[in-house]
Amino acid sequence: MIKDTLTRLQVLLRREIWESPIAFKWTPVIIAGFILLFTVLALIIGMKVDNRMVFASDSIRMFAELDPEAKRLIVSGGLFSISAVFTQVMFIVLVFYLSGSLYDDRRDRSILFWKSLPVSDTLTVASKIVTACVIAPLLYMAGVALIQLLLLGIGTVLALIADVNPLTELWLAARLPRQWTLLVYAALVQGLWLLPIYAWLLFCSSWAPRLPILIAVIVPVLIGTFQHFWSLFSSFSLPEVNLLWIVLQRIGAGVTPTSVEWETISRDGNDSFRPSEETLMSFGSVTDHLFSVDMLVGLVIGLVFLVGAVWFRRRATDA
Amino acid sequence: MKPTIYAENLSRRYGSTVALDSIDLNVPSGRIVGLIGPNGAGKTTALKAILGLTRFDGKLEVLGLDPSKRRDDLMEDVCFIADVAVLPRWARVWQIIELTEKLHPRFSREQCMKYLAKTKIPQNKKVRALSKGMIVQLHLALVMSIDAKLLVLDEPTLGLDILFRKQFYSNLLNEYFDQERTILITTHQVEEVEHILTDLMFIKDGKLVVNASMDDIYDRYTELMVRPDEADEARALGPIHERVLFGRHIFLYEDVDRSRLEPIGELHKPSVADLFVALMGDKEELAEQVRTMEGAA
């Protein structure tokens, strides 16, 4: 029974990628392509300016003489930061994907075909949220791995020109296996962190008579604005709790490379703070995040919206 | 053995409109049932209730299951085609076949390929790129390859040419239908299905006006064709409907002794379409029509 359900879920996940190949397969490839393009352009311009690559070779040699810790920070940190672009684009893609996922088939009436298959509405909703929380992060992280390998390849050529050992100075310093494990782990935790937002989009997609994305955005904006002005007029102060602010904070926080907690660093770090690989993200910080109270609260809210989405899906037909 | 469809007091309201008004149904297996009614009579609502696509009041069991609660289990044994093409437009033909195969335990790929081989549908094209007729052909091929106990067809042949329509119904009858299966059809093209139906239901304003087997129908209703000079004699026997065709008067009788009709004119089996007009049409308007026709003749 469970095996049967899992097989069906797997088929439904394939269906999601078949339906949106651009969102899930081609966007990561295109981002990687852009990064590669800009790198190559920068190199070409650099070579025009820096005849015979004297400066470039010098700086690579200088880099090779740094202590191992600093080298790791530069190489792995640099490669790591690239993933931020992927994570942010993925979020935008998922907002559109989720808000359409239970609405488009109602609009074009293909829901009648999907409902003619012996698949429960719970499994249908599950396939959408798993796509957003698991499948999309994995595919986008594959895009990150691809561009990292390509950039290291370019670095290898430059290192060879500069007479520096690329294997020890670049590839080992990048610590790819550790980095990829961490990236995938963080991407999955981030998926859970954003579950309340994903589930809200799915919930709106499930019942909205039209324009689910607009409804999904406008409701928190209206509530937030109302809270703001209500508090301002009734007690001449800003509200203590503002829904819009909470939503934006959740989107901005989490465990992506861009959500480094600078405040904490500047507070605890004083003068002795030295940036290292761990500053951006570490297994420890991701795990702390996974077991935080905020995470738990978000999961509960997310589940409520998912149950709501299933409830409406069961009653949904065409038009 | 449990009936395929069993309903008691089946009702559905949309606000103040009554779409289904206390319908009772009992359809055993091995029947081909035609559900006929004018637009807005409640056909689609009835089908949706049976398929678990809408809520309802009263009791309804399809293959022993409550469709509003157990749609996913029910769909292992029930197939349906909605009135127009509803296959997902983004999907390629082979993807749809693959999905149906993996998600439907009773689907036979081999059978489906056999049906598709008779069409010109390219496997690699997206549904979006297929013609309307091809989409219907694809959907029918999919559905007929599923070993289901109940097949629900809502206007299945809309937009198809006559060759394919004829072929479809003959396939349905010869290759698909057997004593274990039940087929429920709604259509406006009554003439095409009347010879394959075993049961007939007329629905009007959410109520079942007729619910009987075809044998009972032909037993109950008789059509009589007479020359104009015998019309008055025929009228005296209390027909429920009268029309004029090529100068002949055609009367429809319900539960009348045939031996009394035979001397007056020719007896016929009424067609479903004529029955429909007689039973469902506006009586006043029809009487008016007959008067004008007589005036012209």
Give me the helix-helix angle, A176-193 and A68-101, nearest 10°: 40
The predicted structure's pLDDT at residue A270:
53
Structure-block tokens of residue B33: 């049932």
- B68: closest CA of chain A, how far (Å): 9
pTM over 0.90: no
- A22: closest CA of chain B, how far (Å): 12
Closest CA to A289 of A216, A208, A188: A188
Q: 3-state SS of chain A: helix, strand, coil percent to 5?
A: 80, 0, 20
Please indicate whether, in this complex, the C-beta atoms of A120 and B72 are within 8 angstroms of each other: yes
Rounded mean pLDDT of chain B?
87
Q: Which of A116, A121, A124, A310 to mutate to test the interface with B (most CBs of B within 10 A)?
A: A116
Distance (Å, whole) CA A126 – CA B258 = 64
Give me the helix-helix angle, B109-117 and B93-103, nearest 10°: 150
Using an 8 Å CB-CB cutoff, list chain A residues near B71.
Answer: 115, 120-121, 314
Closest CA to B22 of B40, B1, B8, B32: B8
* Whether B39 contacts B108, CB under 8 Å: no
Please indicate whether, in this complex, the C-beta atoms of A110 and B103 are within 8 angstroms of each other: no
Q: Which of B86, B107, B155, B184 to mutate to test the interface with A (most CBs of A within 10 A)?
A: B86
ipTM: 0.86
Kindly state whether B158 is in contact with chain A, defined as any CB-CB distance less than 8 angstroms.
no
Sign of the CA dihedral with A237 first, then A240, A241, and A242 last: positive
pLDDT in tens, chain A (319 residues): 788 899 999 999 999 999 999 999 999 999 999 999 999 999 888 888 877 777 778 888 888 888 888 888 888 888 888 898 999 999 999 999 999 999 999 998 899 999 999 999 999 999 999 999 999 999 999 999 999 999 999 999 988 988 888 888 888 888 899 889 999 999 999 999 999 999 999 999 999 999 999 999 999 999 999 988 888 888 877 777 788 888 888 888 777 766 655 555 555 555 555 666 666 678 888 888 889 999 999 999 999 999 999 999 998 887 6
The predicted structure's pLDDT at residue A255:
76
* Other residues' Cβ atoms within 10 Å of the Cβ of residue A48: 8
B46: part of which helix (H) or strand (E)? helix B43-50
- A21: closest CA of chain B, how far (Å): 10
* Whether A208 contacts A103, CB under 8 Å: yes
Sign of the CA dihedral with A213 first, then A296, A178, and A261 last: positive
Within 67-96 of B, beta carbons closer than 8 Å to A belong to 71-76, 79-80, 82, 84, 86-92, 95
Question: Which residue in B has a C-alpha nearest to residue A16's C-alpha?
Answer: B91
Question: Which residue in A has a C-alpha nearest to residue B127's C-alpha?
Answer: A110
Question: Which residue in A has a C-alpha nearest to residue B78's C-alpha?
Answer: A116
Cβ partners under 8 Å of residue B57, min gap 6:
B9, B10, B11, B12, B13
Using an 8 Å CB-CB cutoff, list chain B residues near A118.
Answer: 72-76, 103-105
For every residue of A210-250, DSSP letters joined together read S-HHHHHHHHHHHHHHHHHHHHHHHHSS--S--HHHHHHHH
**Of the partner residues A11, A118, A318, the one whose CB lies closest to the CB of residue B73:** A118
- B53: closest CA of chain A, how far (Å): 6
* Whether B46 contacts B35, CB under 8 Å: yes
The predicted structure's pLDDT at residue B42:
86
Distance (Å, whole) CA A288 – CA B193 = 68
The predicted structure's pLDDT at residue A308:
97
Distance (Å, whole) CA A288 – CA A296 = 12
Least confident of A248-257, B42-51, B102-111: A248-257
pLDDT over 90 (residue B15): no
- B284: pLDDT confidence band, cut at 50, 70 and 90? low
**β partners of residue B33:** B184, B199
* Whether B222 contacts B270, CB under 8 Å: yes
pLDDT over 80 (residue B222): yes
Sheet containing B207-213, strands listed edge to edge, beginning at the edge strand earlier in sequence: B78-81, B150-154, B182-186, B32-36, B199-204, B207-213
Tens digit of each residue's pLDDT (9 = 90 or more) over B119-142:
899 999 999 999 888 888 899 899
The predicted structure's pLDDT at residue B32:
93
**Using the 8-state DSSP alphabet, how is residue B124 labeled?**
T
pLDDT over 70 (residue B84): no
Using an 8 Å CB-CB cutoff, list chain B residues near A111.
Answer: 86
Within 241-260 of B, beta carbons closer than 8 Å to A belong to none
